[in-house]
Amino acid sequence: MPYVVGLTGGVGSGKSAAAEEFARLGASVVDTDAIAHGLTRAGGAAIAAVRREFGDAFIAAHGAMDRERMRALVFDDPRAKRRLEALLHPMIRAESERRIAAAAGPYVVHVVPLLIESPDYRERVARVLVVDCAEALQVERAQRRSALSAEAVRAIIRSQIPRADRLAAADDVLDNSGTFAALQKQVAQLHARYLKLAQS
């Protein structure tokens, strides 16, 4: 089994930018969000089950899961959220395991937004890397890449594990409050450390 680093962080913290940089340096990246998107796109393995569980209204005209409608539902209805998670999470976990086992890089960066909240994911990783920045920056970045309002982003932040708890669970912290060049420098340092750990 390869050496696995779990990468996590709040919404808008810059997990994707960090993961892309690790991939550029040669690490294998296994991203649970990317897997979830694949499962719920048109023709994805989860579409039939989503249709059965939630009805045709939650499948968009082009055949993918209607993400906006589903996000609105699960945000307001904890039972619906649990139903969706019970459907998707086992499929995401199984595909993550398959990709980790097949990874060709010197180590794996496993991107899991809810890593610290999910004990089974936490047990799979040798180290926890938290990408961190101030809440104001999270809101600004999340708004830039999505159509969400500032209040909607803050609501997502409130629904996630508190920043202090996330930092307390970290083995390594990537401070993403500065420039992309600063992020790259930190990733390069961590990459060198993970290469040594993977070889030992």
**pLDDT tens-digit readout, 29-84:** 999 999 999 999 999 999 999 999 999 999 999 999 999 899 889 888 889 999 99
CA quadruple 156, 158, 159, 165: dihedral positive or negative?
positive
Q: Residue 127's CB: how many other CB atoms inside 10 A?
A: 17
* 6-30 average pLDDT score: 95
Counting beta carbons within 10 angstroms of the beta carbon of residue 133, is it exposed (0 to 12), middle (13 to 18) or buried (19 or more)?
buried
Domain boundaries in the chain? 1-27+107-200, 32-104
Please give the pLDDT value at position 68: 87
Structure tokens at 12: 């808008």
3-state secondary structure of 125: coil
Rounded Cα distance, 115 and 140, in Å = 23
User: Is the pTM value of this prediction over 0.85?
Assistant: yes
Which CATH number is 1-27+107-200 given? 3.40.50.300
pLDDT of the residue at 63 = 94
What are the tens digits of pLDDT across the range 104-160?
A: 999 999 999 989 988 888 889 999 999 999 988 988 888 888 878 888 888 888 888
